[in-house]
């Protein structure tokens, strides 16, 4: 009976950890790649608009895509913090830095 419960708890923690790590990877991509790329597109679109090479609708479309990327980044951050709270609930306490580093380093070693 206790063995089954222990297996279930480990499984729940592993699932919660994986969700948190995946959410963190999405946040990192969003903030490190997607948002800077969208900002660069806006800068280039603005230059092209000033040179009358693109229309106002093209510039506004690029801005809308930047706003969408920023919204997705905020949603990714929300998902990360929810996943982290679920992991803390599963382990029965707060997560410290060493625990997070250990789980992330295991992911790198395992090739995930």
DSSP string, 20-84: HHHHHHHHHHIIIIIHHHHHHHHHHHHHHHHTTSS-HHHHHHHHHHHHHHHHHHHHHHHHHHHHH
14 within domain boundaries: yes
Q: Is residue 103 part of a domain?
A: no
Task: Give residue 92's pLDDT.
Answer: 86
106 inside domain: no
In a domain, 25, yes or no: yes
Q: Tell me the three state secondary structure of residue 88.
A: helix
Q: Is residue 112 part of a domain?
A: no
Task: Give the model's pLDDT for residue 111.
Answer: 44
State the average pLDDT over residues 49-65: 97
Q: Classify residue 27: in a domain, yes or no.
A: yes
pLDDT greater at residue 32 or residue 99: 32
Is 6 inside any structural domain? yes
In which domain, by residue range, is 54 found? 2-97
Which pLDDT belongs to residue 94? Answer: 85
pLDDT of residue 104: 54
Report how many domains make up the chain. Answer: 1
Q: How confident is the model at residue 45 (pLDDT cuts 50, 70, 90)?
A: very high
Single pTM value for the model: 0.77
User: Considering the chain, what is the average pLDDT of its residues?
Assistant: 88
List pLDDT tens digits, range 21-42: 999 999 999 999 999 999 999 9
The reply to whether 57 falls in a domain is yes
């Amino acid at each position: 009976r206790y063995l089954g419960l222990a297996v279930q708890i480990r499984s729940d923690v592993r699932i919660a950890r994986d969700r948190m790590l995946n959410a963190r990877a999405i946040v990192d991509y969003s903030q490190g790649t997607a948002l800077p790329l969208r900002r660069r597109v806006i800068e280039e679109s603005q230059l092209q608009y000033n040179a009358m090479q693109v229309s106002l609708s093209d510039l506004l479309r690029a801005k809308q895509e930047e706003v969408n990327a920023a919204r997705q980044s905020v949603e990714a951050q929300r998902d990360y913090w929810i996943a982290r709270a679920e992991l803390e609930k599963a382990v029965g306490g707060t997560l410290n830095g060493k625990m997070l580093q250990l789980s992330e380093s295991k992911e790198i070693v395992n090739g995930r």
